Amino acid sequence: MEDIRAHALSVEKLLEVLKSSHSGIGEEEAEKRLALYGRNEVETDRESAASILLRQFKSPLVYILLTASLVALLMGERVDFLLIVGIVSVNALIGFFQEYRAMTTLESLRKMTELSAKVIRGGRLREIPSSTVVPGDIVLIEEGDVVPADIRLIDSRSLLIDESLLTGESVPVEKDHEALLPEDTPLYERKNLAFKGTLVVRGYGKGVVYATGFNTELGKISLRAGETSPDTPLTRALKSFSKRWMAVLVSLLSFLFLVGILQGRGFYEVGMLVIAELVSAVPEGLPIVITLVLVVGALRLSRRKTYIRYLPAAETLGSTSFIAADKTGTITQGKLKAQESFALDRDALILVSALCNNSDGKRGDPVEVALVRWLEEEGIDWRAIRESFPRVREFPFDTRRRLMATVHRTEDGYLLLVKGALESLSEMTTEIREELKKVHDEMAERGLRVLAFGIARLGEPPESLEGVKLKVVGLVGFIDPPKEGVKEAVETARKAGIRVIMITGDNLKTAKAVGSMVGIYRRGDWAIEGRQMESYTDEELYNLLKKTAVVARALPEDKYRIVRVLQSRGEIVAVTGDGVNDVPALKVADIGIAMGSGAQAAKDVAKMVITDNNLSVIVEAVRWGRVIARNIRRAIHYLLSASFGEVFLISSSFLMNLPFPLYPTQILWINLVTDGVQDKAFPFNREEIDLMRERPKKPESLFFDRSLLLDTLSTAAFMGTVNLLLFYYLLGKESYPLAVSITFTSVVVNQWFIGMQTIRELPFLYKPWRNFTMNPYIYLGLVAGVLLQLGALYLFPSYLHAEPLPTEGWFLVLTTSIGVFLFIELRKTLKFLFRKRGHS
């Protein structure tokens, strides 16, 4: 069905377009339209489980690991083959189960429509499943109902609808069926429409359905929810590294193969070299170590009211450069509070607040609930006041006059009490004091929603409000107040180089006021409305967003575009949301953060859920995300230093026309007793320095930047060189088997030292006790590795082509290891001194 601008059409014209009437359509016509337009549901095709599972294996690193497993199988090492395949499979299954759960998104959206609807068909009132509502149906809605489809109101009485689901605006919207609006009226100002999925807070309405299913505003959102989430920074970095490493590996092996042939070596010998190089080059423990770091990090976050639904998202937190945060519920409490009051007659203001009010303090209109709580804070017994002044009549809130009135009996007559907009009350009084107007304007300028209160003493209860003269007795300003800890969290984020943009459906003044309270909006910052974004190109909008702190009157498509524009310029964006309107932005964000109390649809697409809906929890999660990312970086450095060191040793020996310094089985054993036991401790590293004082790093440099590359290559080259020299020395002094055994053990112990030194970035002598408290588990891994290596040398040496070491052999092993330790410490000390000089 074509898009109908229902808000710009009169009721009669729309009924004509829809070929309907005030009596609705007939049952036969309804069946035809149901077949033509489809059910009033939000559904989409599901990706098969098999497709999701296969996608987990589409990674260059996985290809390398599977190649290594085949090589191990060809060598007859079935245990290693099964181990590597097992690691890849476990990693794939974890990713599969996480993604499969996210597929429940659209089902949650559909559940929102599993309701009944009251419709008029053929002049008769019927109750039908909302999924069978069709365009042209006449629908009735009242307090407590969920609107079943997008409707143009035909009639309304004091109708108030909560549209935060779609617009994010915290205050319910007053509806007016008589309004006729311009075609370009924004969604949040279409007061003659009611939208599917929104909640009727008060009053009654009747309307004609003009859109169902995917043609509704809710349906359009669900279509965008089907978009693919972006890869995490770690995933992108690993893909980039794997491709480069595969290219380097193929080039190196091709070169060595050619050199071997030119040296006159046999094909078998050269083939053994290729196998040894491949086994050395592949850090097969990397996926499982990364998974362990993410799992441990996710467990730590769960203790801080943060639950990770998609494991790689844990490290994405550490790369975040922008946080696009909802105002309501994340920055503010999500409920109105009487912030300020101004009384010309305090007793009368209290009287009106207590009596012209239908709330019991827990339920009702948000403004009336806030008034009751304000009275309680002032120590006023509002229940006693209501008992003393019984109500005899109510004039419900009138959307055109923008006021509500009640009549109460007193000992000597009646009281007419009114609350509403000051402009409306002004029409019922002879004069408004200038002081009152000034205070009203000042409150409004500070972003408060201001209500005026009036009173009239009468002899008889009035039949209408016409001709009644009021005395205005005061004003009350309301706001959705900030949560505790948000201001401090904003400052922490700013120091960490993260820009927080507050996005809200509220008006600009209110948004700026709240933004100022929590430190998001400061002097020099920009605050814009969502509709202004249409006039900017993506490039212009990106430059604007770098200076923008507040986006008011924002629609779902505005939030979605903000995320996409920032991502297109390389920013890592975290988005918070709790409603269905947030689903598209949550899905495409680098990390979508849903509120635990929010809509199920939002939680299903989010990568992270927080049970304490507070920005401070998110900022603290970013800190732990940086710890997780730093631990992954350390693990990568350790594993690659070990792999590259072995490649350097083997390649150099081959180029020097020396025999193999290590057997392939020894290389696999090295990976077991060094990487296999020590790298499992890296997830438990603690924060060494205040990571929230560092600016966020780009994904491509977070895990594989120049600094890491230089550290890794220098460590690998030094370790490879000292062991090459050791092997060359031993060949002229000892037998070949013993030379290999000593070199084999030297490489193992060297890598233990590298592992112990990698847990810290600062030098060993800087706060030396931290070497033992940063991560005690590394030493448990070391003990296990020592026992395994001693077993290899003295219990089952023949299985690994090894021999027991003499005392001199252990001395040589210790000498190379101390050399590696001193080299790494020298490099760390120089970097530390250079960094301190840079900060001084």
Quick one: which H or E segment has residue 237? helix 233-262
Q: Tell me what the mean pLDDT of segment 310-330 comes to.
A: 81
Check residue 729 and give its pLDDT: 95
Is pLDDT at 183 greater than 80 in this prediction? Answer: yes
**Rounded distance between C-alpha atoms, residue 292 and residue 306, angstroms:** 18
Q: Which of 279-288, 311-320, 450-459, 686-695 shows the lowest mean pLDDT across its residues? A: 279-288
| pLDDT 10s digits, 39-84 | 888 655 556 677 777 777 776 656 766 776 776 677 566 766 776 6
How many CB atoms sit inside 10 A of residue 379's CB? Answer: 6
Q: What share of the chain has pLDDT > 90, as a percent?
A: 34
Is pLDDT at 107 greater than 60 in this prediction? Answer: no
- To the question of pTM greater than 0.85 for the whole model, the response is no
Residue 538's pLDDT band, with cuts at 50, 70 and 90, is: very high
Quick one: which H or E segment has residue 592? strand 591-595
Q: Which of 299-303, 712-716, 745-749 shows the lowest mean pLDDT across its residues? A: 299-303
Instruction: Assess contact for 664 and 288: CB atoms under 8 A.
Output: no
Check residue 109 and give its pLDDT: 41
In the predicted model, what is the mean pLDDT of the chain?
84
Residues in the chain: 840
Instruction: Give the pairing of strands 138-142 and 199-211.
Output: antiparallel
Residue 20's pLDDT band, with cuts at 50, 70 and 90, is: very high
Burial class (CB in 10 A: 0-12, 13-18, 19+), 648: buried
Rg of the chain on CA atoms, in Å: 35
Check residue 272 and give its pLDDT: 66
Which residue has tokens 């002229």? 732
Q: Check residue 482 and report its DSSP letter.
A: B
Instruction: Give the pairing of strands 322-326 and 499-503.
Output: parallel
User: Torsion over CA of 509, 511, 517 and 522, rounded to 10 degrees?
Assistant: -80
- Residue type for 300, please? R
Q: What share of the chain has pLDDT > 70, as a percent?
A: 88
| pLDDT 10s digits, 136-148 | 999 999 887 889 9
**Rounded distance between C-alpha atoms, residue 9 and residue 190, angstroms:** 12
Instruction: Give the pairing of strands 173-174 and 138-142.
Output: unpaired
| pLDDT 10s digits, 592-614 | 888 876 766 677 778 888 877 77
Instruction: Assess contact for 272 and 664: CB atoms under 8 A.
Output: yes
Listing DSSP states for 672-724 in one string gives IIIIHHHGGGGGGPPP-S-GGGSPPPPHHHHTT-HHHHHHHHHHHHHHHHHHH
Check residue 541 and give its pLDDT: 94
Instruction: Give the pairing of strands 471-479 and 449-458.
Output: antiparallel
Listed residue (229, 290, 306) closest to 572, CA to CA = 229
Is pLDDT at 676 greater than 70 in this prediction? Answer: yes
Check residue 606 and give its pLDDT: 83
Instruction: Assess contact for 358 and 365: CB atoms under 8 A.
Output: yes
Residue 100's pLDDT band, with cuts at 50, 70 and 90, is: low
- For the chain, the first-to-last Cα distance in angstroms comes to 67
- Select the more confidently predicted residue: 89 or 659: 659
Catalytic residues: 326
Q: Which of 496-505, 700-709, 739-748 shows the lowest mean pLDDT across its residues? A: 700-709
